[in-house]
Amino acid sequence: MALMTPGMPSTLAGICIVTLLAALMLGAGDVASAQDANRQALALDLARVLIDDQTRQGLSDQVGIGLLQLIGTRLQERLNRRLQDSEVRTLAEIIRAFVGRTLTEERIEEISARVYASQFDEAELKALVEFQRSAVGRKAARLTPAIAQETARAIEAEIAQSPALPRLVEAIGQEFPVLRTPQTP
């Protein structure tokens, strides 16, 4: 005990406390990592259930169109002219090939899983996977596009019959006079 100084017991206790806290945090990190891994696995499972070939193609098309618009606009600015149809087709093919190589089925599922995991906790993901695998969930997924189209048509019909439509046409005509006069062929 001759080696101990007056501050040594408190220093030793401090080291023990810090070591204990570090061990607890590392252990909690393992639990958090395990929970996070489980959450990621559930999110990936959900992505695999929800993303079918049609959805995957739609995502790829959306990315391709965005890239085509972005790169096409930049090209036109650099060339100081509009792109010719053959140039647009060539650019579209290059972008389509790039998107096809980059956004594989697995990659789209991984990206989607990351998004799902950022929006839902583990219990919610579990419930979503269970629902999407149920008969009602499969029916809802199958009918969602048709319901969306039917809803859009109903909204368009509602707008077309709206008593406010003439005011809309009038307001547009006032701001854009070219639209007021009928065009002749």
Q: Is 100 helix (H, G, I), strand (E, B) or coil?
A: helix
Q: 95, 68 in Cβ contact below 8 A? A: yes
pLDDT value for 177: 82
pLDDT digits (tens, 9 = 90+) for 25-48: 444 455 457 778 999 999 999 999
Q: 42, 126 in Cβ contact below 8 A? A: yes
pLDDT value for 32: 53
First-residue to last-residue Cα distance in the chain = 107
* Residue 121 CB coordination number (10 Å): 12
**Amino acid at site 162:** S
pLDDT value for 176: 85
**Tokens 């080696």 appear where?**
3
* Reported pTM: 0.62
pLDDT value for 141: 87
The low-confidence residues of the chain, meaning pLDDT below 70, are: 1-32, 181-185
> Which residue in 117, 115, 111 sits closest to 63, CA to CA?
111
